């Protein structure tokens, strides 16, 4: 385990840096992977910047710290580094956003806006990788950079991340550190995980240690009542996330789809039928494509399968019609011919023409186009009933938190495209059209019994 920084290092000349309680705990943690989560204010971002200094006396040391965009990087991490790194002899190079220290060690500052951006680091090697505001990154970005952690010079390699319980990719972060978030593990104590993500004994081959430390506003004595008052002025949900560090705070009241009603699957379960329903955005609204599956009425043991239905995927896209047409076609080929495609048909001739165009483009696939009629709440009723009966599961993925959040807020929300697509997918999955779905389900079940 790495020792905490000594007092002379904590009080950097000319800066008088002294760690907060959370920062001190983080500096003392020797786990391979550590996430500092919870409320706003305890100094999480500053911790990332300071922790990277631990090994700058080693000539081969390499570190990289990430935010989502360059403006975010400039406002947070780079500003903090500019205050702290000169005292350690660091020199900054603006064109590469890299600090170089007298030993030759370097600390880079970079941003990842899309999954493809991580491939800029193919072949790179780092001893320290830091993610600031982790719930704003995808799981793919995080996992890919885990593969860049390596070294042969004896310097410990560390993955460090920080974040509030807020952001578009909240669900996978919560799942990764759920043992601590749900208080089944003590903050700061390491657990060991095998490559499949299972908790194992220390010393198990290929297992790596992981830990979590939650922060509270009270951990930072430098932030007074004014900052607390600012957080108190936020809306109730944002306040719960940033002031209380509440991982389960959600917009709305859960009138029709409460966030606690879903069953979560870590991996997609086997299904006997699938439907992908589309809701086409208009006026800047996103296009949503929701894939749902039916697991079958009864299992091999003859007992009912619960939950029977599961949300397997949700695609969100904002773009012009030609991009949407390409997205629908590409998704159909990825899903496979066994997946039924349900889409709305607007009233009038234009809606009919659009539906016919999609059918021609999707030759070889089962396409069902149905007019959208009636009140949204009424249309979502059967879908809501199954979720309320705990008969609907959902796969943990980067899109899950946004999907559950929109459903929890429905119908008191401006954008409800995910709910519309989810309701249409369930309608087609449960009712079928002209018996095609029953035939498909029966054929799959018969094949399963043969196997």
Q: Where does CATH 3.40.50.300 sit in the chain?
A: 7-242
**β-strands 273-279, 340-345: how paired?**
parallel
Q: Could you tell me how far CA 401 lies from the centroid of its own chain?
A: 7
Looking at residue 270, what is its pLDDT?
95
Of the candidate ranges 1-10, 261-270, 425-434, the one whose mean pLDDT is the lowest:
1-10
Question: Dihedrals φ, ψ of 31, to 5°?
Answer: -65, 150
In this model, does residue 410 exceed pLDDT 90? no
Whether residue 76 contacts residue 97, with contact meaning beta carbons closer than 8 Å, is answered with no
**β-strands 128-131, 62-67: how paired?**
parallel
Which fold does the domain 7-242 belong to in CATH?
Answer: Rossmann fold (3.40.50)
- With 0-12 / 13-18 / 19 or more C-beta atoms within 10 angstroms meaning exposed / middle / buried, residue 165 is buried
pLDDT-derived band at 20, boundaries 50, 70, 90: confident
Q: Cis (ω within 30 of 0) for the bond into 307?
A: yes
Whether residue 164 contacts residue 246, with contact meaning beta carbons closer than 8 Å, is answered with no
Looking at residue 2, what is its pLDDT?
37
Calculate mean pLDDT across residues 21-35: 93
Give dist(CA 156, CA 51) in Å, integer: 13
Looking at residue 140, what is its pLDDT?
92
Looking at residue 202, what is its pLDDT?
95
In this model, does residue 70 exceed pLDDT 80? yes
371 beta partners: 345
Whether residue 291 contacts residue 335, with contact meaning beta carbons closer than 8 Å, is answered with yes
pLDDT-derived band at 256, boundaries 50, 70, 90: confident
Q: Could you tell me how far CA 378 lies from the centroid of its own chain?
A: 31
Neighbours of 233 (CB within 10 A): 9
**The token pair that represents 115 in the structure block:** 């999954």
CATH of 259-450, one of 3.40.50.1970, 1.10.630.10, 3.30.420.240, 3.40.50.300: 3.30.420.240
Arithmetic mean of pLDDT over the chain: 86
Q: What is the pLDDT of residues 120-145, one digit of tens each?
A: 999 999 999 999 999 999 999 999 99
pLDDT-derived band at 227, boundaries 50, 70, 90: low
Angle formed at CA 235 by CA 232 and CA 239, multiple of 5 degrees:
50
Beta strands in 306-363 (DSSP E): 309-317, 340-345
Whether residue 377 contacts residue 293, with contact meaning beta carbons closer than 8 Å, is answered with no
Of the candidate ranges 5-14, 137-146, 307-316, 369-378, the one whose mean pLDDT is the lowest:
5-14
Give dist(CA 354, CA 371) in Å, integer: 12
Neighbours of 265 (CB within 10 A): 16
In this model, does residue 77 exceed pLDDT 80? yes
Q: Where does CATH 3.30.420.240 sit in the chain?
A: 259-450
């Amino acid at each position: 385990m790495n020792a905490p920084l000594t007092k002379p290092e904590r009080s950097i000349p000319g800066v008088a840096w002294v760690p907060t309680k959370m920062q001190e705990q983080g500096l003392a943690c020797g786990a391979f992977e550590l996430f500092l989560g919870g409320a706003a204010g305890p100094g999480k971002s500053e911790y990332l910047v300071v922790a990277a200094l631990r090994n700058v006396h080693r000539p081969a040391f390499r570190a990289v710290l990430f935010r989502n965009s360059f403006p975010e990087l400039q406002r947070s991490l780079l500003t903090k580094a500019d205050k702290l790194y000169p005292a350690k002899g660091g020199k900054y190079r603006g064109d590469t956003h890299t600090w170089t220290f007298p030993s030759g060690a370097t600390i880079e500052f970079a941003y990842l806006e899309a999954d493809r951006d991580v491939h800029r680091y193919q072949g790179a090697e780092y001893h320290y990788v830091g993610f600031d505001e982790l719930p704003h990154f995808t799981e793919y970005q995080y996992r890919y950079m885990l593969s860049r952690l390596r070294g042969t010079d004896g310097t410990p390699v560390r993955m460090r991340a920080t974040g509030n319980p807020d952001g578009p990719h909240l669900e996978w972060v919560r799942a990764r550190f759920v043992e601590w978030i749900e208080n089944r593990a003590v903050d700061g104590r390491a657990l060991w995980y095998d490559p499949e993500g299972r908790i194992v004994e220390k010393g198990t081959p290929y297992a790596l240690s992981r830990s979590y430390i939650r922060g509270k506003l009270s951990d930072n004595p430098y932030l007074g009542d004014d900052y607390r008052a600012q957080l108190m002025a936020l809306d109730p949900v944002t306040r719960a996330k940033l002031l209380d560090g509440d991982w389960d705070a959600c917009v709305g009241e859960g009138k029709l789809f409460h966030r606690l009603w879903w069953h979560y699957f870590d991996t997609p379960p086997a299904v006997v039928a699938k439907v992908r329903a589309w809701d086409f955005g208009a006026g800047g609204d996103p296009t949503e494509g929701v894939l749902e599956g039916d697991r079958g009425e009864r299992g091999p043991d003859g007992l009912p399968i619960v939950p029977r239905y599961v949300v397997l995927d949700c695609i969100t896209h904002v773009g012009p019609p030609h991009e949407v047409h390409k997205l629908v076609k590409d998704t159909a080929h990825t899903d496979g011919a066994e997946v039924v495609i349900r889409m709305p048909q607007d009233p009038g001739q234009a809606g009919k023409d659009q539906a016919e165009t999609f059918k021609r483009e999707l030759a070889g696939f089962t396409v069902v186009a149905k007019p959208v009629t009636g009140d949204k709440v009424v249309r979502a009723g059967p879908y809501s009933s199954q979720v309320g009966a705990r008969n609907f599961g959902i796969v943990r993925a980067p899109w899950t938190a946004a999907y559950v959040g929109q459903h929890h807020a429905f119908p008191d929300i401006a954008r409800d495209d995910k709910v519309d697509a989810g309701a249409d997918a369930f309608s087609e999955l449960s009712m079928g059209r002209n018996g095609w779905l029953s035939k498909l389900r029966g054929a799959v079940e018969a094949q399963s019994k043969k196997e």
